[in-house]
Structure 1
């Protein structure tokens, strides 16, 4: 996978979510999506943390 490909895919996924109108989503499905979005946000925060603490070789 080329560098940055994952970030572009993430941006595209967020764009798709932004295009949805949450008021059109049935309540049960909306609750499921909220749980999934929080799970994915935690995963994203973990990846941000991994990249924040990368040290240069020999440091």
Structure 2
């Protein structure tokens, strides 16, 4: 997937989450969402770490 498109999709997903009111989500569904959000956050942090450790000429 092209970088710009991927970042737009990620941004859109985060914007969607921001529009939700967590207090209106049933407790079990909220727990499931929190687990999934933490999993996805860990995956994103892993990709940030991969890019942070890249070394090359001029870097």
Q: TM-score, normalised by structure 2?
A: 0.86
Q: TM-score, normalised by structure 1?
A: 0.86
- How many residue pairs end up in the alignment? 59
Q: Find the residue that maps to 1:4 and give its secondary structure.
A: helix
Distance (Å, rounded) in 2 between the aligned partners of 1:6 and 1:30: 26
Could you say which residue in structure 1 is the equivalent of 2:17?
17
Unaligned runs of 5+ in 1: none
Following superposition, which runs of at least 4 residues in structure 1 exceed 3 angstroms of deviation?
Answer: none
Distance (Å, rounded) in 2 between the aligned partners of 1:11 and 1:21: 18
Q: Quote the offset at 1:37 in angstroms.
A: 0.4
